[in-house]
C-alpha cells in the first residue's frame, strides 16, 4: 500500500522508469588504463642489455 505513496518510486519498478533512470544517471567513465606494452619492452631491453654485458665480461675475463 505504501508503494503508491512514495515520493520517489523505485527506478527499477518498470521498464520505462528504469530506462529513464539509466539515461538520467550517467556514471562517470573509468579512467583509461595505462598501456603495459612499453613497460614490457623496456624490461626486455634491460634484460637483454644485462645479458650482453655479462657475456662480454665473462668473455674477457
The residue segments making up the domain with residue 57 are 35-61
DSSP state of 35: P
Structural domain includes residue 25: no
Structural domain includes residue 9: no
> What total of structural domains would you count in the chain?
1
Give dist(CA 34, CA 39) in Å, integer.
10
User: Which residues, including other chains, have CB under 8 Å from residue 54's CB and lie 6 or more apart?
Assistant: none
Q: What is the pLDDT of residue 23?
A: 79
Q: What is the pLDDT of residue 27?
A: 76
Q: Judge contact between 58 and 51, C-beta under 8 A.
A: no
User: Which residues, including other chains, have CB under 8 Å from residue 10's CB and lie 6 or more apart?
Assistant: 17
Q: Which grid coordinates are listed for 45?
A: 631491453
Give the tens place of pLDDT for each residue, 8-53: 666 556 777 777 877 787 777 788 888 999 999 999 999 999 999 9
Amino acid at each position: 500500500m505504501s508503494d503508491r505513496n512514495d515520493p520517489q518510486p523505485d527506478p527499477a519498478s518498470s521498464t520505462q522508469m528504469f530506462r529513464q533512470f539509466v539515461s538520467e544517471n550517467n556514471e562517470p567513465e573509468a579512467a583509461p588504463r595505462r598501456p603495459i606494452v612499453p613497460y614490457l619492452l623496456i624490461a626486455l631491453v634491460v634484460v637483454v642489455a644485462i645479458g650482453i654485458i655479462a657475456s662480454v665480461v665473462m668473455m674477457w675475463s
